[in-house]
Structure 1
Amino acid sequence: MKYLLLATAALTSTLAFAAEPSFDMKRVSEDIRVMSADDFQGRAPATVGETKTVEFLIDRMQAAGLEPGGSIGPDGKRGWTQDVPLRMSDIVGKPTLSLTYGGKTHSLTQAKDIAVRAALTGQDHVSIKAAPLLFVGYGIKAPERGWDDFKGQDVRGKILVVLINDPDFEGPEGKFGGKAMTYYGRWTYKYEEAARLGAAGVIIVHETEPASYGWATVASSNPNTMFDIVRADPTTAHTPFESWIQRDLAVDLFKASGLDFEKLRAEARKESFQPVPLKATLSADYQVKTQIITSKNVMGRLTGTTYPDETIVYSGHWDHIGVGEPDANGDSIFNGALDNASGIASLLELGRAFKAAGPTQRSVLFLAVTAEEKGLLGSTYYASNPVYPLAKTVGVINMDGTIGPGPAKDFTISGTAKLGLLDMLIEEGGKVGRTYTPDPRVEAGGFFRSDHFPLAKVGVPAISFGGGMDLVNGGVAAGKAWRDAYIKDKYHQPDDEWSPDWNLEGARLDMSLLYTLGRRLADGREWPNWSPDSEFRAARDLSAAERK
């Protein structure tokens, strides 16, 4: 079934599209090399890395012949950027952290036993003394699903211990739709719900499979600078203490409380689960440096000739983690070559391709957003403060990690959403002999982890494209082996670095497919929509009324 609202009855196959341009993969590789070099310092917002990255992007967009696509300045002219105000927080020095259980106080080492985030509540000092721990299962309150892990417990002043993912991860399928992660499974939700209930803090128990990444990823990411959009009351979204702990530590903690961790994990998958107090307390003391900074979304644009107020968006995040604790090799720079210098390099090359191929009827925006690694903040800000009307935004094609091990017979998107934009992508893929494979890791919650999601939440049809796993050379086994090795050894780690030996043919084929989809939208009159049962459908239908 198709979910497309057609403005005309004309078949899109009769539209006269411009010839597909070629892509300069040496130039793409060079752009990745520059952005992921050590002198860009891991491209963290509010650092020299951001300054260098923004300057680089503007230079490349200008050279490609794009127009400034950002906010309108005091002079009445569009610039290349959109200001994104953010709260920035860092833990000063090494935090003092401990758990008391089994009659002993156990000191905790940041990034080894526990990974604590700097408070985003605006305070400059976190001091917690012997706060009681309460196990609340998955930490979910979902009245529309008849689910409440809290059962009326007063959690004020308590540290909540929660599991990652949601109750259906290990099956069988229940109220959360099976193995595919819902937003209730994301760590961001766990923190938000705890804040809404007034908890003193959260400890998420790390487990590799339900988290979809190893401890190294958590340990390298959480102790770094934290960001959030500026909120009138930040305590509505954050508790003072937000952290993860190693699974083995959690097992010991439960055992000292006379509890079986595995048994309680199983109980937490039932709606009858009741919160369980642990015979343990947490103490923490550390200073926090907090300030409001302004980061930048960077935008280049090609104005449509016939419908300039209608916009197709290609997006990707330019930021990465920055500089953190040295790894085993002494490397402290998180270069972020695949994540996501590769997506931005592809975005730039697509901009060049559209410009070279000639004018489009609708406008095309090339949107490089900030602070994805801090919680999709640049795209969240754009969704709340759009430079171009969301009602007339035709669709969003997001790119995050566009270099794989080589050409694939298939392709995918993050998550299992049903929408007309995906139908169109499948159609275009079929024309070049490529097939769609549903997200093989729906339990990882990829739909909620890329910059298309904030736009989807406000109704704009949006996908985050993923290269396939069924490789021309080696098939699915080779594709999975490459992916698993990347997640284990490189994802959110200093080893995510540029290589001159990459096979870029797969990326070239992916760009070709995404170009064809975007060109079809830019020269056509189609208005993709979500499936009738999608939670995003109502917002899109309202925007359809605004277009009339």
Structure 2
Amino acid sequence: MMVGDVAGSGSLKDRAGSRRLGRAAGRAALIALAALAVLPGNGHAASRRGDRELESRLRQHIEILASDEFGGREPGTDGEAATLRYLGKQWFDIGLVSGTNDPGHEWFAPVSLVAREPASSSAQFVRGARGKPIEPAEILVLTSGKRAMVRSAPLLFVGRGDMGELTRNELAGRVAVLLDSASEAVADSELASGDGTGGEGADEGQGATSQRQSALLAMGAAAVLTVLDGERTIEGIEARRLRSGYALSEDSVGGDLEAFISPESMDALLAGTGTTLAGLVAQAGRDDFRPLALDIEATLEATTRARTIHTHNLIGKLPGRHPEAGAVLFLAHWDHFGTCAEAPAEDTVCNGAIDNASGVAALTEIARRLAKGSQLDRDVYFLSTSAEELGLLGAHAFAENPPLPLDQIVAAFNIDSNAIAPRGTPFAIVGRGMTGLDEAIATVAKKEGFRLRDDDEANEYVRRQDGWALLQHDIPAVMVTTAYGEIERIRAFFEGDYHRPSDDATRKLELGGEVEDIKLLTALGRWFADLRRTPQAPGE
């Protein structure tokens, strides 16, 4: 220290006395503040202030992520780059570190997608030994590969496609003719029992039909021809395939061939064979039904165009004291549909404010809360997935190339579309009964003063969120949220603004329930990261 500095600041003795007086004043101020804190109503006032501040941060995140500047957050676009820059900075500033555990790809784990689009479709049938070729007016032939073809394959009517009624010898080299209405009925039954089908936005019956098509092809069928005798149409299937033909690039695709035909075209095809579509449907409903060979041969061909999309999952981590003891995972998908409408519509961008800027906002604020507390025992990972809207593909990519062994994830909590419910709405578990987490969740909810529904109604939507992809890889994953606490509210969203340009930040955002989601999920994070509370994975 220079002489001038000492002279200008008084003697050392004077300054020491000042410091003692300052410390005494500081202690007095702390005592006064403590006294104020215990006055009636002050704790609640502080809590309300904290909730308002949290709501303000949530609203800011949502408004930024759901702005037109982010272009609807479509994977592989400038909107993705803007989204990941924003989230990456937030997480870094909070104090997270990269969770990819890959020095070559810190923070951003690459996900390669292949978008496949039908290119050509042709079908020709011959009825009888010397029949004239018939080209139905309403038929669509599709393949997941680049090109697939079958030539002069006989048709075999398999009704509902029940595997117990079929043998490999019967199917080998034949085109299996399947009724779509039966699959729709199965899909309705599965949805009613909480075992829903398909990914987000799946058409009714699509999942059940796809399962039967896959099973028939696996048993040796050359192709599957589905008769659209229910509610689905050729146009609807074609439109769906145009928007949902996505897969991870490493997923192998073969020359599978599937075709769809209208009931009118099927009836025209059957003319002269001694049966009708109505007759086939009646036979399929009989208890003694057996597959029926039709006097028709088919030549089917389809080709596909493909393009590669390079996108990313964002993975952050809050290191724990004992990373060898496993980890807790929080996740929310960042992606949406980009431009989803055409002129002359005034609004053409699907901004995805609720789905799922709200979920990513909650994920970020949970990270902030956990980072402010004392260091936890276990690592806590924060995952923001890409391509959820395209079939939960980012979650599958995470599980297929994880930053840690999957069996070390003791609990995973997905967050999706949670700016819906008001404060005080009960919580529901999407995935209730499917993991070993339920008992601990109920304990923590009670401890935190939150109501938790004790039914499985929310499982109606279990397959429509990233947690389902993780469950397929044996990761215990659930959604714990007020958004599904009163099921009619989420149903109204799905029937209204969901996947439309109107889901933007100009609409009223209900953040009261989201604040409570964050509080309970933060408490769950601390519980499952605590080796005293959860010494091993639930269910072990």
TM-score (norm 1): 0.70
Structure 2 unmatched runs, 5+: 1-45, 128-133, 199-204, 271-275
Q: CA deviation at 1:280?
A: 9.0
Aligned counterpart, 1:313:
329
CA 1:433–1:452 in structure 2 vs 1: closer, same or farther (change >3 Å)? closer
- 1:223-234 superposed matches below 5 A: 223-224=242-243, 226-231=245-250, 233-234=252-253
Structure 2: which amino acid aligns with 1:46?
Answer: G
1:509 to 505, 513, 516: 516
SS at match of 2:326: strand
Structure 2: which amino acid aligns with 1:42?
Answer: G
Aligned counterpart, 1:486:
493
Aligned counterpart, 1:392:
408
The answer (yes or no) to whether the contact 2:427–2:484 under 8 Å persists in 1 is yes
- 1:11-22 superposed matches below 5 A: none
Aligned counterpart, 2:19:
none
Q: Quick check: 1:36 aligned with 2:66? A: yes
Structure 1: which amino acid aligns with 2:463?
Answer: F
CA 1:322–1:89 in structure 2 vs 1: closer, same or farther (change >3 Å)? farther
Q: CA deviation at 1:427?
A: 1.9
The answer (yes or no) to whether the contact 1:419–1:528 under 8 Å persists in 2 is no
The answer (yes or no) to whether the contact 2:458–2:484 under 8 Å persists in 1 is no
Structure 2: which amino acid aligns with 1:483?
Answer: I
Larger radius of gyration: 2
Q: Quick check: 1:453 aligned with 2:484? A: no
Aligned counterpart, 1:64:
94
Q: CA deviation at 1:302?
A: 0.5
Aligned counterpart, 2:8:
none
How many residue pairs align between the two structures?
A: 469
Aligned counterpart, 2:384:
368
The answer (yes or no) to whether the contact 1:422–1:463 under 8 Å persists in 2 is no
Cα distance in 2, alignment partners of residues 216 and 392 from structure 1: 45
Aligned counterpart, 1:498:
505
Q: CA deviation at 1:364?
A: 0.6
SS at match of 2:103: coil
Q: Quick check: 1:222 aligned with 2:241? A: yes
The answer (yes or no) to whether the contact 2:354–2:419 under 8 Å persists in 1 is yes
The answer (yes or no) to whether the contact 1:160–1:194 under 8 Å persists in 2 is no
The answer (yes or no) to whether the contact 1:398–1:452 under 8 Å persists in 2 is yes
CA 1:170–1:325 in structure 2 vs 1: closer, same or farther (change >3 Å)? closer
The answer (yes or no) to whether the contact 2:257–2:302 under 8 Å persists in 1 is no
Aligned counterpart, 1:536:
none
Q: CA deviation at 1:206?
A: 9.6
Q: Quick check: 1:401 aligned with 2:408? A: no
The answer (yes or no) to whether the contact 1:126–1:288 under 8 Å persists in 2 is no
Structure 1: which amino acid aligns with 2:248?
Answer: I
Cα distance in 2, alignment partners of residues 280 and 403 from structure 1: 55
The answer (yes or no) to whether the contact 1:64–1:351 under 8 Å persists in 2 is yes
* Post-superposition CA distance 1:33-68 (Å, at most 9, x none): 333333434333223333232222212212322111
Cα distance in 2, alignment partners of residues 150 and 332 from structure 1: 50
SS at match of 1:106: coil
- 1:410-429 superposed matches below 5 A: 410-429=426-445
Aligned counterpart, 2:482:
467
Aligned counterpart, 1:181:
195
Structure 1 unmatched runs, 5+: 1-18, 109-113, 142-146, 471-475, 532-540, 542-548
The answer (yes or no) to whether the contact 1:150–1:274 under 8 Å persists in 2 is no
* Post-superposition CA distance 1:392-419 (Å, at most 9, x none): 2211111122122423542223345343
CA 1:45–1:177 in structure 2 vs 1: closer, same or farther (change >3 Å)? closer
**Structure with the bigger percentage of helix:** 2
Deviates more, 1:127-136 or 1:310-319: 127-136
The answer (yes or no) to whether the contact 1:428–1:517 under 8 Å persists in 2 is yes
Q: Quick check: 1:518 aligned with 2:525? A: yes
Aligned counterpart, 2:457:
440
CA 1:55–1:288 in structure 2 vs 1: closer, same or farther (change >3 Å)? farther
Aligned counterpart, 1:25:
55
Cα distance in 2, alignment partners of residues 160 and 324 from structure 1: 35
* Post-superposition CA distance 1:342-386 (Å, at most 9, x none): 222211111112112342121110011222223222222222221
Cα distance in 1, alignment partners of residues 99 and 76 from structure 2: 22
CA 1:529–1:307 in structure 2 vs 1: closer, same or farther (change >3 Å)? closer
The answer (yes or no) to whether the contact 1:314–1:398 under 8 Å persists in 2 is yes
Q: CA deviation at 1:503?
A: 1.6
Percent of aligned pairs with the same residue? 23
Aligned counterpart, 1:353:
369
Q: Quick check: 1:83 aligned with 2:105? A: no
The answer (yes or no) to whether the contact 1:379–1:455 under 8 Å persists in 2 is yes
Deviates more, 1:321-330 or 1:126-135: 126-135
TM-score (norm 2): 0.71
- 1:292-331 superposed matches below 5 A: 292-307=308-323, 310-324=326-340, 326=342, 329=345
Q: CA deviation at 1:195?
A: 4.6
The answer (yes or no) to whether the contact 1:420–1:528 under 8 Å persists in 2 is no
SS at match of 1:339: helix
Cα distance in 2, alignment partners of residues 524 and 494 from structure 1: 45
The answer (yes or no) to whether the contact 2:76–2:311 under 8 Å persists in 1 is yes
* Post-superposition CA distance 1:84-118 (Å, at most 9, x none): 233332346xx66789999884257xxxxx8x87x
Aligned counterpart, 2:137:
106
Cα distance in 2, alignment partners of residues 494 and 281 from structure 1: 46
CA 1:182–1:24 in structure 2 vs 1: closer, same or farther (change >3 Å)? closer
Q: CA deviation at 1:451?
A: 1.9
Aligned counterpart, 1:8:
none
Q: What is the Cα-based RMSD across aligned positions, in Å?
A: 4.5
Deviates more, 1:176-185 or 1:395-404: 176-185
* Post-superposition CA distance 1:312-335 (Å, at most 9, x none): 000122223344464994755333
The answer (yes or no) to whether the contact 1:139–1:150 under 8 Å persists in 2 is no
Cα distance in 2, alignment partners of residues 416 and 451 from structure 1: 15
Q: CA deviation at 1:226?
A: 2.7
Structure 2: which amino acid aligns with 1:396?
Answer: A
SS at match of 1:401: coil
SS at match of 2:455: coil
CA 1:311–1:441 in structure 2 vs 1: closer, same or farther (change >3 Å)? closer
Cα distance in 2, alignment partners of residues 131 and 47 from structure 1: 44
SS at match of 2:388: coil
The answer (yes or no) to whether the contact 2:333–2:359 under 8 Å persists in 1 is yes
Cα distance in 2, alignment partners of residues 156 and 327 from structure 1: 47
Cα distance in 1, alignment partners of residues 234 and 64 from structure 2: 29
